[in-house]
Amino acid sequence: MSFSYIDLFAGIGGFHAALGALGGDLTLAVELDEAARETYKRNWGVDPEHDVVEMAGPRLEEIGHHSVLAGGFPCQPFSKSGRQRGMEERRGQLFTEIVKILKRYRPPLVVLENVRNIAGPRQQSTWREVIGGLREAGYRVSATPCVISPHRLSPTVGGAPQSRDRVYIMGTYVGERAVRDVHVEPSVARVPDLSWSPDAWDLLQQIVDPDESVEHSRYRFSSEEREWLDVWNDFLRRTRDIRLPGFPLWSTYWSDDAVVDPDAPRWKQVLEQKNIDFYCDHRSIIRAWLRANPRLNSFPLSRQKLEWQAQDSPRDLDQCLLHLRPSGIRAKKLTYSPALVAMAQTPLIGPLGRRMSPREAARLQGFPDWFQLDHQPDSRSFKQLGNAINIGVAYFAIRRHVARDADLIAEQGGQSLVDAVLASPDLPVIRRP
């Protein structure tokens, strides 16, 4: 049993891994980024085409029939970290190239992935355009976003310890009735398994390599980073009997003459006032800490801020998972990681005194240990992994959707797709070429 699929905006092959594990055979991959194409070719033995616009235009007839169209179309126009220009940006308009291919070939199943914000308040018109475009092309699709994160899935079905909400847009071809069949529920619930608790994850046991197996000198904390953490650890020790607030701690507002900036946005004014109040409530402890750590004032402004999100963990940054973010030093429990992003915000593993390695980050995304990344700089690997889809989530979502719509998919010539997916195991077994 097998079925054919095409992999658009293919990145380094997350959909390739998931669909291959479901029994699929690739007939076309397309990826614009040269470095990502090299990683794809090195690992999957396929050299992707370069340009989706060209494939959907003058080379449309070369694509050939397929059972599944998959693609993580560009997220930057919709991401909160960007300008959120949506369909006004050229990359945001690449969705229309997908629709051209769907209208020509009518594969029984389309699976698209993007950031959660594509269905957010500022992108309502974009979301309507995406859903409307798919329905016009003949696809039965839910207007309610299907939002899934790997940390909400049990490890028995492909979950991983990473909080990474992504929208999966899954459509089944039904023809003209798609524009009338609009009352469709998402094929995966927001919390797909109520019996699984994300707090049960353990990064050190499930993702992180033993320290001796990692080239420690490449990833260890710098002396500057060590100083930042030591100063804030002193703060945590001095305030161990104080309940820390949930808002970010901004030491730049911890002085007797601090005032709220009248020209700041309202949200920032609120945080400034909260920090001033926190200082006033604990003035003697904070002033003693400031006197003992005058070097704090020489830190970059983002390192004069602490976001304590480790709840009841020991007051020790060396026992936390850390992110050095533009908004401050963020400390979390060593259960699951924040989302990998395509920027230089590699998680720091406090107990090991080092950054997460690309191999460990690849595991967070579901890539097998044989997946090769060592042909390129680590920064490029992290960028590619931050842009990748999570394999376990894609595998889980497609299985759920095909199981629900099995009869409809079979009616459209997708019986081999249904048979292969329903026969697949709970966990993806990723095929090595």
Q: What is the DSSP annotation of 192-235?
A: S-TT--GGG--HHHHTPPPGGGS-HHHHBPPHHHHHHHHHHHHH
Contact status, residue 112 vs residue 169, Cβ threshold 8 Å: yes
Q: What is the pLDDT of residue 190?
A: 82
Closest CA to 352 of 213, 167, 156, 155: 213
Q: What is the pLDDT of residue 75?
A: 53
Q: Provide the annotated active-site residues.
A: 75
Cβ contacts of residue 32 below 8 Å, gap of 6+?
9, 50, 51, 52
Beta-strand relationship, 68-71 and 24-29: unpaired
Q: What is the pLDDT of residue 77?
A: 47
Q: What is the pLDDT of residue 213?
A: 67
Contact status, residue 92 vs residue 85, Cβ threshold 8 Å: yes
Domains of the chain: 3-198+387-422 (3.40.50.150), 210-356 (no CATH)
Contact status, residue 109 vs residue 414, Cβ threshold 8 Å: yes
Alpha-carbon distance of 93 to 354, in angstroms, equals 40
Q: What is the pLDDT of residue 79?
A: 44
Phi and psi at 178, nearest 5°, equal: -60, -35
Contact status, residue 63 vs residue 5, Cβ threshold 8 Å: no
Alpha-carbon distance of 380 to 377, in angstroms, equals 5
Tokens representing residue 121 in the block: 């308040």
Q: Which helix (H) or strand (E) holds 26?
A: strand 24-29
Contact status, residue 128 vs residue 118, Cβ threshold 8 Å: no
Contact status, residue 63 vs residue 38, Cβ threshold 8 Å: no
Q: What is the pLDDT of residue 254?
A: 98
Residues of the chain with pLDDT under 70: 75-92, 211-216, 343-344
Phi and psi at 328, nearest 5°, equal: 140, -175
Alpha-carbon distance of 364 to 114, in angstroms, equals 18
Q: What is the pLDDT of residue 343?
A: 63
Tokens representing residue 245 in the block: 């607030």
Cβ contacts of residue 3 below 8 Å, gap of 6+?
23, 24, 25, 67, 68, 414, 416, 417, 420
- Cα 131–Cα 133–Cα 139 angle in degrees, nearest 5: 75
Strand, helix or coil for residue 8? strand
CA atoms within 13 A on the CB side of 190: 3
Tokens representing residue 133 in the block: 């475009």
Q: What is the pLDDT of residue 313?
A: 87
Alpha-carbon distance of 38 to 359, in angstroms, equals 17
Q: How far is CA 6 from the centre of its chain?
A: 22
Rg of the chain in Å (alpha carbons)? 24
Q: What is the pLDDT of residue 191?
A: 82
